[in-house]
Homo-oligomer: A and B are copies of this chain.
Amino acid sequence: MNPLSSTARTRLGRYPERSSADRSVLHEILDDGMICHLGLVVNGSPRVLPTGYGRLDDTLYIHGSTGASSLMEGPAQDICVTVTHLDGIVLARSLFHHSINYRSAVIYGTPRLLDGDDKLTGLRAITEQLAPGQWDVARRPTRKEMAGVTVLALSLDEASVKIRQGPPSDDDPDHDLDVWAGVLPVHQAFGAPDPDPLLRSGIPVPGHIARRVTS
């Protein structure tokens, strides 16, 4: 795999040691997420909207229905897509060194609006990212339904990752303080599946959904 390229936009100004040029790290961060934050410029102002996404190789597919009206007006324009995992709260002895453990990916580029088979491929990637296993069990979209969905493709050519992990980085003299220090781990958890009140009787929760439950 090619390493991540360094451009003016993807070079980290702050804490450059937290970056990684390893493309497989980018893939892992993206594959671990369920929603991204899509950044657009609308009438000169930034707009940030949460939406679904999926990845295949070095293409990111984005559910664009929320933000797409402004993307489809006028000429092709740059977007920014950010995926962030909050992994822990870093509790230091000094307030200054309080921090978060996280993994984030930031991708820049000009998206392509998909149609036909490409659009179906993208929608499948987005669905499987959020709800793995569902593509094979749920009713497939009709032609009319497909027309009501916007799917964008964004190359992973211009991307950066930033990671902070590990204990707090207190200054040496603070190690003597009588203050607890460490990390409070944070993770996303799945509760017990809540059946649709309209669910027909006798349909059990399928294994691919039940297996995700963590509590």
Q: Mark A41-65, 1 if CB is under 8 A from B, else 0.
A: 1101111111010000000000001
Contacting residue for A195 out of B96, B104, B181, CB 8 A:
B181
Q: Name, among A14, A35, A84, A182, the residue most crowded by chain B CB atoms within 10 Å (CB to CB).
A: A182
Q: Is A215 an interface residue (CB 8 A)?
A: yes
Chain A contributes a number of interface residues (CB within 8 A of B) equal to 97
A198 to B169, CA, bound (A): 10
Smallest distance from the beta carbon of A79 to chain B beta carbons, Å?
6
Q: Once the chains bind, are A174 and B52 in contact (CB under 8 Å)?
A: no
A205 to B52, CA, bound (A): 38
A39 to B78, CA, bound (A): 13
Count this chain's copies in the assembly: 2
Given A37-B48, A39-B39, A95-B139, the answer on whether A192 and B185 have CB atoms closer than 8 Å is yes
Q: Once the chains bind, are B137 and A82 in contact (CB under 8 Å)?
A: no
Q: Is A177 an interface residue (CB 8 A)?
A: yes
Contacting residue for A196 out of B50, B84, B145, B182, CB 8 A:
B182
Q: List 26 A-B contacts (CB under 8 A).
A: A13-B69, A14-B66, A35-B84, A37-B37, A46-B47, A46-B78, A88-B194, A91-B193, A91-B209, A93-B139, A94-B141, A95-B127, A95-B134, A98-B130, A98-B138, A131-B184, A167-B196, A168-B196, A178-B200, A178-B203, A180-B203, A182-B199, A182-B205, A185-B193, A187-B189, A189-B215
